[in-house]
Structure 1
Amino acid sequence: IRLLVDGTPNANGWAARKIPTEGEDEKKKNNRISLQVDSPSYAIIGKYTLLLEVRSAKKEEEFPMDKQDLTLFLFEVDIYFLFNPWKKEDACALQSPEQIAEYVMNEHGQIFLGSSDKPRPIPWYFGQFEKSALHAALTLLDNAQLPPQNRVDPSIILRILSSKICSNPGANNGIFSSSYNVRPITPEKNGLTSSTAILKHYLASNCRSVHGGSGTNWQHAAILCTLSRALGIPCRIVTVYNAACRADGTDNNDVHWDTKQRPLQKLNSDLICTSQVWNECWMRRVDLPN
């Protein structure tokens, strides 16, 4: 994206301008410039680098373009563009500051397990502002080879992230293994009591699935919540108790008895789970009809 530092937006809504340098003495101000870059609400999320190109102020007709003095400054600090729930034009905009504080900014929370009779809250550190969270989210998108033009749509991004939470084991694959024949990892067994611990473990192992099993549905939800919030997508974790688990994927749950009111176990393949945990994310769905 090439911009003139004159404040004029380009065709895609990007603009750059020079702004006053504040908070420094006059001597330092003369040696510094401050720039403001304005991005459109549909900017591609991810890592950017900034290259500043400085040319001679002489007129082009007096000093041909190919002979002008040219200086390039490459900024060593990476710049990340994320979804912006504070901006009303953004795909993940929220109007309530209280909801933004809870579903985007809050790093600590509880995940409810147990049963409807005895709910058991699990304290959890989401750590969406830790380096490992943003690094893991972008790494998963890169490993999935998600094209840049699709990184403006939160629904596509969330489909990729949710599919990579629990996926085939091996390098550059899911955070958890999809093999359910091994024992799921638990915080009590390995000390993983936060999303940060799991994501650091995943990144340190060269993006190999976390050893120890497929995890649990609430661990999957915790990781997806962290990755979503790290990208600026509002997300929360929901627990439902006494959830019907239909074997054939339909919404109804059937129970069969014989003429003597005895349950027919061969026909009763549906289950009632003690609890199920999932994620809810907030976004504008441009792919759905109004």
Structure 2
Amino acid sequence: MEDLILKHVDLEIPTNELSHETKGLSSKHLVVRRGEPFKITLFFQGRLFNTDRDSLVFRAVLGGLYVEFPATLSKPLSYSRWNAEIEPGISTHSHTVTVNIFASSFSSVGLYDLRLHVLAQPWQHSYRIGEFVLLCNPWCPADSVYFQNEELREEYVKNDVGLLYMGTSKNVVPRPWEFSQYEEGILEICLDLLNISPQHRSNWQMDYLRRSDPVYLSRVVCAMINCEDDRGILKGNWSGVFRNGVNPSEWTGSDDILKLWAESKFKPVHYGQCWVFAAVMCTVMRVLGIPCRVVTNFNSAHDTNGNLVIEEYYDEMGKKTTHDQRQHLEFPRVG
């Protein structure tokens, strides 16, 4: 009996980039969003693939963790788990098989290795298909970062240029900023940021598992923007003396800062101030698929010698709550 051999795999990158709103984020990797199926096409040689007797089992590997799932002929009933569907309409005997892979809307963000096990009795073969980057999905109602308004998604996720506001409450000055999430290499640098964080280095398994939570991701990214406690990106300087570095007011975009950090093997970039920290964090969050924008505070207690006491509380819908409702507003602990 003739063997069934996988000859070639097409990751259908242009098609997937279009349907996943990821065009331009990377020239090195397939980039997709969780909660939305992505398509790959398998080309076999030898005998024809037979849907009645041959089986395909996929494995998506993130670091040392993995999830395994078979390809079936029916559409999955739930997108809360990883699934694969052999695209309907093909012949039961074919050299070409197109598969729709469903990444759970609760999956962890990161760079995955996709593998395939082909069971074609009496033979079995395993293949490494390639890599893909999985991001959060503001277009998916099942994802916790979902935004219903397309105009807001354009602004908070896809827009790569914007204005930062500086000055005082009586003299607000806008300045342009390039968030640059589509610049070559920026996505990969953002993934490096997650992998060199203290959380990943102290317990990589727990870190990978917790990357499904955008709150956790936000806190890791926030800590990594400042270099004081880890191998973070920026060194703060408010002294007015910027020897051996760049005056924060000279930065015009996030890409120069992120690339300089990566090229120096993750040594702190000199220098940043609050608005630079915020702008770089906005870039990283948008790359990861978490909607984000920069907000300027002109009258904070920190700068006006206020009492620094939290005196008002708001729920996730922006509605003011009473003091007694605080226990319902706790965030998950990190670390």
Establish whether residue 137 from structure 1 lines up as the match of residue 190 from structure 2.
Answer: yes
Match of 1:173 among 226, 231, 239: 231
Name the amino acid aligned to 1:151: R
Establish whether residue 3 from structure 1 lines up as the match of residue 65 from structure 2.
Answer: no
C-alpha distance in structure 2 between counterparts of 1:117 and 1:103, whole Å: 27
Cα gap change, 1:288 to 1:116, in 2 (>3 Å):
closer
Name the amino acid aligned to 1:47: L
Match of 1:69 among 94, 104, 123: 123
Name the amino acid aligned to 1:133: I
C-alpha distance in structure 2 between counterparts of 1:41 and 1:70, whole Å: 31
SS at match of 2:294: strand
Cα gap change, 1:110 to 1:179, in 2 (>3 Å):
closer
Larger Rg: 1
Normalising by the residue count of structure 1, what TM-score does the alignment of the two structures yield?
A: 0.71
Deviations 1:203-223 (A, max 9, x none): 11111111x33x011110010
Name the amino acid aligned to 2:127: F
Partner of 1:205: 264
Partner of 1:185: 246
C-alpha distance in structure 2 between counterparts of 1:11 and 1:235, whole Å: 25
Establish whether residue 39 from structure 1 lines up as the match of residue 103 from structure 2.
Answer: yes
Deviations 1:230-289 (A, max 9, x none): 01100011112243325586249xxxxxxxxxxxxxxxxxxxxxxxxxxxx99xx99659
Equivalenced residue count is 237
Partner of 2:85: 17
Q: CA deviation at 1:174?
A: 0.8
Pairwise CA RMSD: 3.3
Name the amino acid aligned to 1:218: W
Identity %: 29
Establish whether residue 152 from structure 1 lines up as the match of residue 212 from structure 2.
Answer: yes
Partner of 2:292: 235
Whether the 8 Å CA contact 1:132–1:203 is kept in 2: the answer is: no
SS at match of 2:290: coil
SS at match of 1:138: helix
Q: CA deviation at 1:69?
A: 1.2
Structure 1 residues not aligned, in runs of 5+: 59-67, 253-280
Cα gap change, 1:187 to 1:178, in 2 (>3 Å):
closer
Whether the 8 Å CA contact 2:301–2:308 is kept in 1: the answer is: no
Matches within 5 A, 1:65-104: 68-76=122-130, 78-104=131-157
Q: CA deviation at 1:107?
A: 0.8
C-alpha distance in structure 1 between counterparts of 2:287 and 2:195, whole Å: 16
Name the amino acid aligned to 2:215: S
**Bigger mean CA deviation after superposition, 224-233 or 113-122:** 113-122
Normalising by the residue count of structure 2, what TM-score does the alignment of the two structures yield?
A: 0.62
Deviations 1:124-155 (A, max 9, x none): 11122334332232222211233211111111
Partner of 1:221: 278
